[in-house]
Every structure is written in structure tokens, then in C-alpha cells.
Amino acid sequence: MKELNVKYGCNPHQKPSRLYVKDGGMPLEILNGAPSYINFMDALNAWQLVRELREATGLPAAASFKHVSPAGAAVGIPLDPALEASYHVEGKTLSPVAVAYARARGADRVSAFGDFLAVSEVVDVSLADLLAKEVSDGIIAPEYEPEALERLKTKRKGAYVIMKMDADYKPAAVESRDVYGITIEQLRNDARIDASLFAQVVTQAREIPESAMRDLIIATITLKFTQSNSICFAYGGQVIGVGAGQQSRIHCTRLAAGKADTWMLRQHPKVLAMKFREGLSNSARDNAVDSFLREDVTEVELAEWRTLFTEVPVKLTAEEKTEFFRTFDGIVYSSDAFIPFRDNIDRAAACGTRYVAQAGGSVADPAIIAAADAYGMVMCFTGLRLFHH
């Protein structure tokens, strides 16, 4: 088979739509559901991300995609009790691939609502059971255990999209797309991201421990499949904040850093102790917590969210937040291109960044290095730009 019909393009009025390969057979099989154009875009970008994470780290990998950018990505490293509570998986026995997805989804649980999931491993019952309580549009994976597949087929009243990807598929070296009737071609972005990419350390602080190197790799591979401009924060084997598709790099940094702040604060003892009414969905809890953590939340919004609690929580003070941020040591910050102004470094430092990766090559490089030195950061110049459009 070389072609699949798609119900419509980005929007319902964009018909007809199809998916096809020019040469060879279709490497993708639809096991359930009727994928949309956007489902395919998310699935194919997410698949590339998890495939590269698996190759680079040797660990099971997962990505949660929304609108052709990752809400989160991670590898399967065990969760501590605070993360288990924050991700709503307390008391569950999770396989490594299920842990990878819990982490990927947990990077930004509000944005991940209705995500498309990719995993690098065989989907097992543990992952299928975890997905049962999450609002998700679909999944792409290399294989499925029979029981896991049957459970997934019942999701969304039988409409859950399930794709099987040929793990051995290798695309052509040159890719093309049509824009306004004009075809554009380029060499596929086959840049390899591993520890050697971070060898050029330009700051006074120079040591990068193994855990930080892993997180630099995770953050930078994530940027490779994130709409530019893009910034990614990572910690503990997972993405904790992504800023995508902004015209200004500082806006990317502020967006990603705000998400990283929220990720950390969701693990604060006062947040974990919040008491919700019985029967609330995970999504309702996530949105309520997000509102209470936002600086710009209005009293009208708070009044609405307070109805979800049996005991009204007290908002964290600025001092409590700052103190809690200090408990996270070794956060990674990666940029898909050079950093043009030190305000990016200042904002990254505010949420505990210790390791920075950027392309380098700006006239502002000396000032950026000086800023990193002032904060005791380790900064690497990769010499690699990773714009993605």
C-alpha cells in the first residue's frame, strides 16, 4: 500500500486530503481510528523524536505532541514519590515505557490535554492502563502487545487513533513540501546529537556530570522537532518546559521557563497536599493547580476553581516559590540557535539553570559567556542550529 485517505486537511473545509509515499511501501499502518492530517503531522514528528532519544540514550523514550511541537519528551527513569503524585500515578506499577510517557505527559499536563503520543518501545498493558485515564487523541509505536491493543481500541468510544510504525524505515535523504503551489526541497535534518556535540565548553565552570549530559541530549533532540524559535529546559531525564514558535528568543525563554517553574511547583508539598472533591478527572485537577500557581490569575477565576476543593488552598508566596526552586539542582537549558541577549540567561538562572547549550556565533557571545560565568553556569557552544518549520 502506498496511499492512505485522510478525512480532511488542517481544517474540515480542506478536502480532499491524503497521505502517500512516492517510492516503496507505506511504513505506517493504521490499527484503529481515522487519523486527521494533524494527527499524522504530530505522529511522524513525534516518532522521529522518540527514535532519536532511544538511539542516543539507550532508554525507552516517549513524546507528547500538540500542534506539531512537543508538550513534553522523556526517557524511562523511575519516578520519585513527588513526581508520582504530581503525575497522578501513585500506587501504580509502571513499566519503563509507561514511566517514559508519564514523564513526557507530566512536563506540561495542561498543554498535553488531547495529545498525540509516540513511544519507542512495544506498547504494553501498563502503558495502555495509564492512557485509560488521560485525554489523548492517539498513539504511534513500533508494536503492541495484543491485550494492550485491545484495551486501547476501547478508548474514545472506539475512535482512538492507533498507528504502527516500521522501526526499520529510513526516509529519503531529500525531503520536499509544497507551499502555495511551489515545491521546496532540502536535505533532511540528519544531524546526530550525542555527547560529542557538547564538547566545546566556553565558560569558567567546565564539568558536566553524566546526568546533565543526558539531559542536554534530551533537551537538544527535543528542539530538533520543535517549531522555531524554540527553547527547552530539561531535568531528571525529561523535558520540564518548552517554548516553541515565538518570533523572539526571549519570549521563547520566558514561555519555557514559566512552564519549568510550574513543573517544579506542582511537586511542592503544599500543592501535593491540596484536597480535591471526589470524582474529579485528572484534567480538572491539573487545570485547577495551574490556576492557583499562575501569577496573573484573577479572583473570578479563583472563585470558580475553589469549588473543586474540599479545603480551599492558600496560594504560595513568592518567597516560598523561590526557596523551593533552590531544591532543584542541575537544570539544563538548550536553545535551537545562538542566544542574542543576556536576558535569556538571566531568566534561565531564575529557575535554577546550571547547564546551557546553544549554537554560538553571535556578536554578543562574549556578553553571554560573561553572564553565564556570573551565575556559575556551564555553557557549551554546539555550532549546530536546529531550526524546524
User: Residue 364 is placed in which grid cell?
Assistant: 554578543
- Alpha-carbon distances of 96 from 112, 129, 276, 370, rounded to whole Å: 20, 14, 29, 40
- Catalytic residue chosen out of the listed positions 67, 92, 270, 315: 67
Active site annotation includes 251: no
Give which of 59, 27, 66, 22 is closest to 45, Cα–Cα: 66
- Catalytic residue chosen out of the listed positions 13, 22, 170, 389: 389
Which residues are CB-neighbours of 257 under 8 A, at least 6 positions away?
231, 233, 241, 243, 347, 348, 350, 351
Helix, strand, or coil (residue 146): helix
Strands 331-335, 353-358: pairing kind: parallel
Active site annotation includes 88: no
Asked if 130 contacts 89 with a C-beta cutoff of 8 angstroms, the reply is yes
Quote the DSSP letter at residue 186.
E
Give which of 375, 386, 376, 265 is closest to 334, Cα–Cα: 386
Q: Residue with C-alpha cell 558536566? A: 208
CA 276/CA 59 separation, integer angstroms = 35
- Alpha-carbon distances of 89 from 82, 95, 127, 131, 231, rounded to whole Å: 10, 12, 11, 11, 28
User: Residue 381 is placed in which grid cell?
Assistant: 557552544
User: Residue 287 is placed in which grid cell?
Assistant: 487545570
Which residues are CB-neighbours of 148 under 8 A, at least 6 positions away?
123, 124, 125, 127, 128
- Catalytic residue chosen out of the listed positions 45, 229, 259, 268: 229
Asked if 218 contacts 53 with a C-beta cutoff of 8 angstroms, the reply is yes
Active site annotation includes 229: yes
Active site annotation includes 270: no
Number of neighbours of residue 35 by Cβ within 10 angstroms: 24
- Catalytic residue chosen out of the listed positions 45, 66, 224, 268: 66
CA 107/CA 70 separation, integer angstroms = 10
Cα-flanking dihedrals φ and ψ of residue 240, to 5°? -125, -5
Q: Residue with C-alpha cell 514511566? A: 99
Query: Which residues are catalytic, by number?
Result: 66-67, 229, 389
